[in-house]
C-alpha cells in the first residue's frame, strides 16, 4: 500500500480539481456565448460552482443546495457570467478555482481589466465580489487578499469611477410640471399613468420595484388614504425588517398633486380594460397587460425630460435621492430611514443624501 505522505501535493490538487469540474452542470454553448473559449463546446453553470464551493468546505450536498437560496436571483444573474469566465480560466490553466494562488487571481483580474475597453473600478469590484463567493485564499475570501485590494486601488487610479452627479434635482420642478398639465380628470390615460407612477416614487421614496408589485387585491381605498399591502420580497427586505405596506395620504391643498385623487381616477379609467388583471399599473395600448419594470422606468424618464430634468445625468432611480434629500430638510434621518426601509442611516447619507442642484447659484451670489 502506498504511503499517502509520499504522494506529491500536486496529485491531491489535480484530484480535487477533477472532482470539482465533474460537479459542475454543463450548459449549451449558446448560454455562455463569449464566456466559452473557442472550441470548448460547453460552459458551466454558476450554481454548480457555488454547490462545489460549499461541499468543498465539508457541507452536505443537501445543505449546499439549500444555501443557494441565500442569493437573490438578481445577484446570481449579475455574478454568473463572471464566475463562468473564472472557472474556464482556471480549467484552461489546470488550477483549482476554489483555492487559487493570489498570482493566478491577479492574472485573471488583469485579463478582465484589459478585456473590454471601459471596464472600470465598479465593474472590476463586481468581478472581485463574484469570485469571492466561491474562492478562498489563505482561509478568507479571495477578494480580501492584500494584493487584490492593492490591485483594485490601481484599477481605480487607472480608470476612475465617479458618481454621475454630486447633486440631485429638486422635486419641485416635476411638481410644477404636473400643476401645469391641468386637472387630473382631463389627462389622457398615458399622461395619468406617467404622472401617477412618478408621484408614487417621489412621495414614497421607494424603488420602482415596489410599484411593479402593487396589486389591487392588496389595496385598501379610503376617502383620504390609500394603503397597498406588500407581501413580496423587496431589495431592502431582510430578517426582521420589511416594508409591509405603502401608504399614500390625500393632499387637499392642491388637487393636481393629490395622489389619492390620482389613484381613484386611474382605477376608474382602467376598470373597463382591466379584465382579470390585478396588477395595479397596466399598459396603455392593446393588448393590455401588466406594465413591466422597463415601462414604468420609461414613464418616469418621460416625465423628467418633459419637466426639464437632465436625463443624461439623472436616471429614473434618482427620484429616490431627490425626494429623500428634500425631505431631509424637514424630517429627522431616523424617520426617513425607517419610512424607506434602509438598514442604517449611513446608507442614506453615503448614497442618497445630496444637495439639490441649483446651477448658477454661486455666480448669482457674486454678481449680487
The full set of domains in the chain, from first to last, is: 9-158 (no CATH), 172-351 (1.10.443.10)
Distances (CA, A) of 202 to 36, 84, 141, 143, 318: 44, 39, 39, 37, 10
Tell me if 198 sits within 8 A of 299, measured CB to CB: yes
Lay out the sheet containing 245-249: strands in order across.
219-221, 225-229, 245-249
Given a cut of 60, is residue 143 above it in pLDDT?
A: yes
Could you tell me if 133 and 53 are in contact, meaning their C-beta atoms sit under 8 angstroms apart? yes
Measured CA angle at 177 (ends 171, 181), to 5 deg = 145
Grid cell 431616523 in the structure block, residue: 334
Residue 6, pLDDT > 70, answer no
* Per-residue model confidence as pLDDT tens digits over 184-213: 999 999 999 999 999 999 998 888 778 888
CA-CA distance, 96 to 86, in Å (whole number)? 11
Pick the range with the lowest mean pLDDT from 93-97, 118-122, 312-316, 320-324.
Answer: 118-122
- d(Cα 61, Cα 249) in Å, to the nearest integer? 50
Q: What is the b/e burial string over 10-36, where b = at least 16 CB atoms within 10 angstroms of the residue's CB?
A: eeeeeeebeebeebbeebeeeebeebb
Tens of pLDDT, residues 75-121: 888 888 898 899 889 989 999 888 999 999 999 999 999 886 668 88
Q: What is the mean pLDDT of residues 267-274?
A: 95
Q: How confident is the model at residue 365 (pLDDT cuts 50, 70, 90)?
A: low
Q: Return the pLDDT at 173.
A: 93
What are the φ/ψ torsions at residue 28 (nearest 5 degrees)? Answer: -70, 155
**Banded model confidence at residue 332, pLDDT cuts 50, 70, 90:** confident
Comparing C-alpha atoms, which of 151, 192, 198, 193 is closest to residue 311?
198
Alpha-carbon distance of 314 to 301, in angstroms, equals 9
Quick check: 124 and 150 in contact, CB under 8 A? no
Spatial separation of the C-alpha atoms in residues 250 and 58, rounded to whole Å: 57
pLDDT given at position 59: 83
Task: Give me the pLDDT at residue 363, please.
Answer: 56
Burial of 124 (0-12, 13-18, 19+ CB in 10 A): buried
pLDDT digits (tens, 9 = 90+) for 271-282: 999 999 999 999
Q: Taking all residues of the chain, what is their mean pLDDT, rounded to a whole number?
A: 79
For residue 317, what are the CA distances in angstroms to 82, 246, 352?
Answer: 25, 18, 11
Query: What is the pLDDT, as a whole number, of residue 317?
Result: 87
Amino acid at each position: 500500500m502506498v504511503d499517502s505522505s509520499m504522494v506529491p501535493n500536486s496529485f491531491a490538487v489535480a484530484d480535487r480539481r477533477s472532482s470539482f469540474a465533474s460537479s459542475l452542470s454543463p450548459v449549451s454553448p449558446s448560454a455562455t456565448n463569449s464566456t466559452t473559449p473557442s472550441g470548448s463546446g460547453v460552459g458551466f453553470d454558476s450554481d454548480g460552482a457555488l454547490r462545489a464551493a460549499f461541499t468543498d468546505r465539508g457541507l452536505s450536498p443537501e445543505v449546499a443546495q439549500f444555501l443557494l437560496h441565500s442569493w437573490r436571483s438578481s445577484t446570481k444573474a449579475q455574478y454568473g457570467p463572471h464566475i463562468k469566465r473564472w472557472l474556464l480560466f482556471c480549467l484552461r490553466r489546470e488550477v483549482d478555482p476554489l483555492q487559487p494562488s493570489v498570482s493566478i487571481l491577479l492574472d485573471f483580474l488583469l485579463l478582465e481589466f484589459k478585456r473590454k475597453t471601459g471596464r472600470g473600478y465598479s465593474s472590476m469590484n463586481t468581478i472581485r465580489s463574484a469570485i469571492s463567493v466561491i474562492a478562498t485564499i489563505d482561509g478568507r475570501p479571495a477578494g480580501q487578499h492584500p494584493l487584490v485590494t492593492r490591485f483594485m486601488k490601481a484599477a481605480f487610479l487607472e480608470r476612475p469611477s465617479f458618481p454621475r452627479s454630486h447633486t440631485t434635482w429638486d422635486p419641485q420642478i416635476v411638481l410644477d410640471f404636473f400643476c401645469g398639465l391641468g386637472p387630473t380628470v382631463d389627462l389622457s390615460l398615458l399622461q395619468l399613468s406617467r404622472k401617477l407612477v412618478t408621484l408614487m416614487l417621489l412621495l414614497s421614496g421607494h424603488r420602482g420595484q415596489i410599484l411593479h408589485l402593487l396589486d389591487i387585491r392588496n389595496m385598501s381605498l379610503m376617502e383620504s388614504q390609500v394603503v397597498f399591502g406588500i407581501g413580496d420580497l423587496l431589495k431592502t427586505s431582510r430578517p426582521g425588517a420589511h416594508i409591509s405596506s405603502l401608504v399614500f395620504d390625500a393632499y387637499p391643498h392642491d388637487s393636481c398633486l393629490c395622489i389619492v385623487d390620482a389613484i381613484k381616477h386611474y382605477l376608474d379609467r382602467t376598470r373597463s380594460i382591466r379584465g382579470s388583471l390585478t396588477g395595479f399599473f397596466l399598459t396603455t395600448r392593446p393588448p393590455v397587460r401588466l406594465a413591466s419594470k422597463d415601462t414604468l422606468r420609461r414613464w418616469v424618464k418621460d416625465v423628467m425630460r418633459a419637466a426639464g430634468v437632465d436625463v443624461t445625468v439623472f436616471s429614473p432611480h434618482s427620484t429616490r435621492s431627490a425626494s429623500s434629500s428634500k425631505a431631509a430638510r424637514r424630517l429627522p434621518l431616523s424617520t426617513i430611514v425607517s419610512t424607506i426601509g434602509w438598514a442604517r442611516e449611513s446608507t442614506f447619507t453615503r448614497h442618497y443624501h445630496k444637495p439639490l442642484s441649483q446651477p448658477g447659484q454661486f455666480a448669482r451670489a457674486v454678481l449680487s
